[in-house]
């Protein structure tokens, strides 16, 4: 069994404005430590996936930055989608490219911008899932045992009775719940956070795409026939121009009868907002996380990022302050999810230089 990895790296990270921009999205930023998030995602695969078997699916705007940050990956493995068509198309494209190289490939599909702290446990989970996917031809997703009634994640319900070690049949997918529903999910014990990570054979996911998303399948067969030939990019652009924007969850995982879950008992976060960054950051005795030359007085429980400018904050609590080269964000921590509204405002008012 040879493992391949597909890293999905096309998102903008609108909740991370003003640091996250089109050319420098969340996955290309150093949020924690000396590496960017995508560098950590690739390095995390050391020991289980060879570099030549790691594929990055991105877009034209971000490709140059990814090439700069990941020079050790083969150039042809950094794949540029002509248009953003959500995760089903991204996974379909990656699957036919990998199938062309290895018809028996087992593929790990990972977002580029997650934090994972228990690397050994993460590797063990991936390897157990890959063995199951190869042997039983199942579609495996990693479910995170919920630590709190979280309303920012989707959930997956499993059948706790299992015929397999470590792997459970999926019963239902649930959208991001309200708080009361999240409490109920937590108390039930059979709901898990949807991590957005998948493990399967490339041929098996393509068969499921053929069954449940025939238009996508037909398009990917046209793309597959053009691999290695002149005019590949033109063919890819023509096919993508006709595809619908559909997530792999909605298009396949919620419909397939082959979906299983393996529990991910490692430290995980999708780092979905500045509030999540605050929660994961080291804090001082006042509960403040400060990056830069920062003065605070009577300030508690705040995240302040201002690496290039002396910044003073007095008499305020529960704040997010992000001082970037050309923009400043100040908001309450409990409003961090609303930062994406700024992108809508910038689009409407044609202030694209701030995007």
Per-residue pLDDT tens listing for the chain (355 residues): 899 999 999 887 788 999 998 888 999 999 998 999 999 999 999 999 999 999 999 999 999 999 999 999 999 999 999 999 999 999 999 999 999 999 999 999 999 999 999 999 999 999 999 999 999 999 999 999 999 998 889 999 999 888 788 899 999 999 999 999 999 999 999 999 999 999 999 999 999 999 999 999 999 999 999 999 999 999 999 999 999 999 999 999 999 999 999 999 999 999 989 999 999 999 999 999 999 999 999 999 999 999 999 999 999 999 999 999 899 999 999 999 899 999 999 999 999 888 8
CB 125 within 8 A of CB 116: no
pLDDT of residue 161: 87
Token couple for 45: 């695969």
Query: What are the C-alpha distances in Å from 183 to residues 33, 150, 198, 268?
Result: 33, 8, 26, 20
Question: Which DSSP category does 250 fall into?
Answer: I
Domains of the chain as residue ranges with CATH: 3-269 (3.90.550.10), 274-354 (no CATH)
CB 199 within 8 A of CB 126: yes
CB 10 within 8 A of CB 44: no
pLDDT of residue 1: 87
């Amino acid at each position: 069994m040879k493992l391949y990895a597909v890293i999905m790296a096309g998102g903008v990270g609108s909740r991370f404005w003003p640091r996250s921009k089109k050319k420098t999205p969340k996955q290309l930023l150093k949020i924690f430590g000396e590496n960017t998030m995508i560098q950590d995602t690739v390095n995390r695969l050391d020991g289980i996936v060879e570099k030549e078997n790691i594929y990055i699916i991105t877009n034209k705007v971000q490709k140059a930055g990814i090439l700069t940050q990941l020079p050790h990956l083969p150039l042809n493995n950094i794949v540029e989608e002509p248009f953003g068509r959500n995760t089903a198309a991204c996974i379909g494209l990656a699957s036919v490219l990998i199938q062309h190289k290895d018809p028996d490939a087992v593929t790990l599909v990972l977002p580029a911008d997650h934090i994972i702290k228990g690397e050994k446990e993460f590797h063990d989970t991936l390897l157990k899932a890959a063995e199951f996917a190869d042997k039983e031809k199942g579609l495996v997703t990693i479910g995170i045992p919920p630590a709190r009634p979280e309303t920012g994640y989707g959930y997956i319900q499993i059948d706790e009775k299992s015929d397999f070690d470590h792997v459970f049949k999926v019963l239902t997918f649930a959208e991001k719940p309200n708080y009361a529903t999240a409490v109920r999910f937590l108390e039930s014990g059979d709901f898990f956070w949807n991590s957005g990570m998948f493990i399967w054979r490339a041929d098996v996911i393509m068969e499921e795409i053929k069954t449940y998303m025939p238009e996508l399948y037909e398009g990917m067969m046209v793309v597959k026939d053009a691999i290695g030939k002149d005019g590949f990019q033109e063919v890819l652009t023509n096919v993508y121009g006709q595809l619908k924007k559909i997530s792999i969850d909605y298009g396949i995982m919620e419909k397939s009868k082959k979906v299983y879950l393996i529990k991910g008992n490692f430290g995980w976060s999708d780092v979905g907002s500045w509030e999540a960054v605050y929660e994961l950051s080291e804090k001082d005795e006042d509960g403040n996380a400060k990056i830069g030359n920062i003065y605070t007085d009577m300030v508690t429980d705040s995240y302040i990022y201002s690496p290039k400018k002396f910044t003073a904050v007095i008499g305020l609590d529960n704040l997010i302050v992000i001082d970037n080269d050309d923009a400043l964000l100040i908001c309450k921590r409990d409003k961090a999810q609303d930062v994406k509204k700024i992108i809508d405002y910038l689009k409407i008012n044609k202030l694209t230089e701030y995007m």
